Structure 1
Amino acid sequence: MEQINQQYVMEMVLFKLREGTDKRRFCQAAAALTEALQTEMSGFKGRTLLHTPDENQWTDIIYWSDMKMALTAMDQLKSVPAFQTFVAMIDSREITLRHLIPANLSV
């Protein structure tokens, strides 16, 4: 059976918020960033923001069309105000970033 060619990159960022961060304000900043990604970043496909039940640990999953677009966006986002607001609420000592590609499961 021929497998459908799935061309995308999943960016996964694990992090904690800075102590004292208002979770509602953080979610508003995340929504503003999603809007900026949709309107300003080529190759953006979608985004899901998740957290543990105690809201202590967060995972941001962003889908890009390819690795080049994901890496280009990392550079471009530094100058986007919505991104600056979003990352200002994240504890910079607690960030793990991975770019993942789909495995070819056909044998």
Structure 2
Amino acid sequence: MENIIEIVRFKAAPNITPNQLIAASQQSQKFVAGLRGFNYRSLSFDKDIWTDIIYWDNLHDAKLGCRQFQENSDCQSYINMMDRASINIEHQNVCLGVLAE
């Protein structure tokens, strides 16, 4: 199995609090969880950069999911809380995955 991670880095739009952004991300998760190939998602923060990481079955599902996310009305609140000029999206192959024993 191929497994892909989608890494979305961004800054919050002006006047958006961390709690607002987290709540909007949780709302968007209702849509993401139903997408084909979705496995896992996490949201993290360091200094002024947010990182949303999504694990997918394959690159096709990742790219399709990304497009569907951008078009879905349940995700617009989250997207609108991002500084659009700062958004960076990349996809990487997972080379090793290890779970805690």
* Same fold at TM > 0.5: yes
Say yes or no: does 1:79 pair with 2:71.
Answer: yes
Matches within 5 A, 1:47-62: 47-52=41-46, 54=47, 56-62=48-54
- Structure index of larger Rg: 1
Judge conservation of contact 2:70–2:79 (CA < 8 Å) in 1.
Answer: no
1:33 positional shift: 1.2
Q: What TM-score do the two structures reach when normalised by structure 1?
A: 0.82
1:102 positional shift: 2.5
Point out the structure with the larger strand share: 2
1:90 positional shift: 0.2
Say yes or no: does 1:18 pair with 2:13.
Answer: yes
- Alpha-carbon distance between aligned partners in 1 of 2:68 and 2:89, rounded to the nearest angstrom: 17
- Determine the structure 1 residue equivalent to 2:83: 91
1:82 positional shift: 2.1
1:79 positional shift: 2.7
**Sequence identity (%):** 24
Say yes or no: does 1:64 pair with 2:56.
Answer: yes
Tell me which amino acid in the other structure corresponds to 2:32.
L
Runs of 4+ in 1 over 3 A off after TM superposition: none
- Give the CA RMSD over aligned residues: 1.5
1:84 positional shift: 0.9
How many pairs align? 96
Question: Which residues of structure 1 form unaligned runs of 5+?
Answer: 1-5
Judge conservation of contact 2:6–2:91 (CA < 8 Å) in 1.
Answer: yes
Q: What TM-score do the two structures reach when normalised by structure 2?
A: 0.86
- Alpha-carbon distance between aligned partners in 2 of 1:83 and 1:66, rounded to the nearest angstrom: 22
